[in-house]
Amino acid sequence: MGTSANLNTIAIHGRSYVLAWVGASAAHLVAEAGAEDPARPIMSHAGAEPNPAYDFDELTNASWATRTLCGRGEWIMCPTEAGRAFLSMWNEREDAVLAPSCKRCLAILDKQFAEPVPAERLGWNVIRAMEQLQEWGCVHVLGVPADQAELLRKRLRVEARHRGWKFLSRVGDGYLIAASEDALSPERRDLVMAESMQRIHAVNSGAQLSQPSWRFAWS
Ligand SMILES: [Zn+2]
């Protein structure tokens, strides 16, 4: 159609939210439903006629959380210039609602996007990882708490760039692997190569190897 009105959604930090009323006081936020979560469409009221100003498929697509961020059920989309989601005597009589105003929804939103607090161990692990990078060109940190992994990666990247090193990293379930070839001096590079060859020979001959210093646990 192309002429349909836009739904009353806003994008915050790359996610969409419906502006919603529960009763008609504050404008709440309804998030897109996660893959595992119960979901409902914007238009879900028995006996209500959809407002033809909106795209019918968009109104009936069950992709929204059943509750507002602050936990209220039975929400309806706040009106836009085109009115409510369904035919109503109020359409064209009420003002469009353009922004959330529920303090609890806004507080929950703030918390969701707050930066994680660096753990006490973070600084120490950054120092240790940088030493290993300089010495071995790679580092493997195990047991990294989920909320610290990106912080650790960010701090290491900054440190590496300060030193003019290229930096490759990967964060997985409880671990971080990073490598930086230019972290090694030419002499160190030869040593590291020799050491790796030795380790490969040792593994091939079935020897038990000690943990290398570049692989260490978060705490
Ligand atoms: Zn709310």
Q: If you measure from the C-alpha of residue 88 to the centroid of ligand 1, how many angstroms do you get, rounded to a whole number? A: 23
Contact at 8 Å (CB) between 46 and 57? no
Q: If you measure from the C-alpha of residue 31 to the centroid of ligand 1, how many angstroms do you get, rounded to a whole number? A: 11
Name the DSSP letter for residue 212: P
Q: How far apart are the first and last CA of the chain?
A: 58
Q: If you measure from the C-alpha of residue 56 to the centroid of ligand 1, how many angstroms do you get, rounded to a whole number? A: 26
Phi then psi for residue 208, to 5 deg, are -85, 125
Query: Closest by alpha carbon to 113, among 3, 11, 7, 5?
Result: 11
pLDDT in tens, 178-216: 999 889 998 899 999 998 888 888 888 888 888 899 999
Please state the domain extents for the chain: 1-114, 120-217
**For residue 61, what pLDDT is reported?**
93
**For residue 128, what pLDDT is reported?**
97
pTM of the model: 0.57
**For residue 70, what pLDDT is reported?**
96
Rounded to whole angstroms, the Cα distance separating 126 from 176 reads: 12
**For residue 7, what pLDDT is reported?**
96
> Mean pLDDT per 10-residue run, the chain (219 residues)?
85 89 91 90 88 95 95 95 93 93 94 83 96 95 92 95 94 92 90 89 85 93
- In three-state form (DSSP H/G/I as H, E/B as E, the rest C), the secondary structure along 29-50 is EEEECCCCCCEECCCCCCCCCE
Q: If you measure from the C-alpha of residue 70 to the centroid of ligand 1, how many angstroms do you get, rounded to a whole number? A: 4
**For residue 52, what pLDDT is reported?**
95
